[in-house]
Structure 1
């Protein structure tokens, strides 16, 4: 049975898994799951991932959730090039350090901007208080500074001269606020140069394909059916406002 990967490319973790699998020639069947439409709560998807999140995979009788777990599983199974998840103990520890940190830093702060700047006001029709937006922008700015100073420093990539899973997970998260109209690279030359190196390492065509949906989200928000979000509107507003 072919490997099945359940994805919604509006989701940052889904993009990282998609890019990693495509870049490394992992054979898989793309299974679309619309998170905004709530398809993750369907009966069939529940059999794949009881956590009700995408991405998820089914490899024969084996099912797995969580993007980092999925990518490390694929790296081991398909013996992808060492730079993605290095065998060297200290280099792998550096990758794991970033992957552990980003869950409570880069991911929530980038996502929050996307919802506060685009989805909540323009799709849900709910006003976002200025102090909420200002606080979210401050949090993201602090996180990006930490990323540059602690994780990137003066290296081409997070772990030296080659791209790793850490860079891949970082870039998809940092692109999320860009999709809402906040160009976080504009005043950060170091971050911008790193973004260009990551795009080149992935391949411009694949990078652009994976981010096409999120980068056109301001336009697609104009015609988005807000009723699709009603089933978790209260949860979203509670989380971000």
Structure 2
């Protein structure tokens, strides 16, 4: 297998999605840190790889891909040993995205919207061990990696017992510790920002 490079920054939620998907699939990666705080995404060398200057970016032997969920799907399709983590059946792999934007002040309507999304996820997890059913899929890694920063910021999950159980299960996923580290940095930045 040729060297697969993932241009990555641990604070980036999308980058954590790509990394966790790769760990789940078991693809060996060469991690290339692109320090967004130092604006390394605008370096001449990086712009040649990704003119959109974002992370993550995957370089699979010259094939460049730069959207986290597309990277996750690509890795699962190309390197997955079976279709359990990314089912071929499109009905089984449908993912309901949960999107939340943090501001310096989390307004009540945003908090309510996000909690409503969490309620849907919690209700679904009532009868399922994982997000897309009985088996772990990239849906779990995508949702966990993208929301891990929010959880690390101290979001109150006391009303969501099924999400709490799911998060405990996620702690056994490949790449969990790497994701947790980046999420903690992100969560600390959010908490600091909200205190101002």
Do both share a fold (TM > 0.5)?
Answer: yes
Structure-2 change in CA distance of 1:34 and 1:185 (3 Å):
same
Aligned to 2:58: 57
The count of corresponding residues between Structure 1 and Structure 2 is 192
Deviation track 1:135-191 (CA, whole Å, cap 9, x = no partner) reads: 321221112112233x53511112221111111111122222222232x43331111
Aligned to 1:86: 87
Aligned to 1:177: 150
Aligned to 1:76: 77
For the 8 Å contact 1:163–1:198, the answer to whether it is kept is no
- Unaligned ranges ≥5, structure 2: none
Q: What is the root-mean-square deviation in Å for CA atoms of aligned residues?
A: 2.6
Structure-2 change in CA distance of 1:80 and 1:9 (3 Å):
farther
CA–CA distance in 2 between the matches of 1:4 and 1:179?
27
Q: Does residue 6 of the first structure (1) align with residue 15 of the second (2)? A: no
Deviation track 1:200-224 (CA, whole Å, cap 9, x = no partner) reads: 3x15xx31232113224565789x9
CA–CA distance in 1 between the matches of 2:143 and 2:136?
11
Secondary structure of 1:58's aligned partner: strand
Q: Does residue 208 of the first structure (1) align with residue 177 of the second (2)? A: yes
Structure number with the higher helix fraction is 1
Moved more, 76-85 or 46-55: 76-85
For the 8 Å contact 1:9–1:211, the answer to whether it is kept is no
For the 8 Å contact 2:118–2:160, the answer to whether it is kept is no
Aligned to 1:138: 112
CA–CA distance in 2 between the matches of 1:147 and 1:188?
9
What is the TM-score normalised by the length of structure 2? 0.84
For the 8 Å contact 1:179–1:215, the answer to whether it is kept is yes
For the 8 Å contact 1:3–1:59, the answer to whether it is kept is yes
Moved more, 33-42 or 56-65: 33-42
Pairing of 1:29-40 with structure 2 (within 5 A): 29-40=30-41
CA–CA distance in 2 between the matches of 1:169 and 1:220?
21
Instruction: Determine which structure has more spread, i.e. the larger CA radius of gyration.
Output: 1
Secondary structure of 2:154's aligned partner: coil
Secondary structure of 2:31's aligned partner: strand
CA–CA distance in 2 between the matches of 1:221 and 1:160?
32
Structure-2 change in CA distance of 1:19 and 1:187 (3 Å):
same
Of the two structures, which has the highest relative contact order with CA contacts closer than 8 Å and spacing of 6 or more? 2
Structure-2 change in CA distance of 1:43 and 1:215 (3 Å):
same
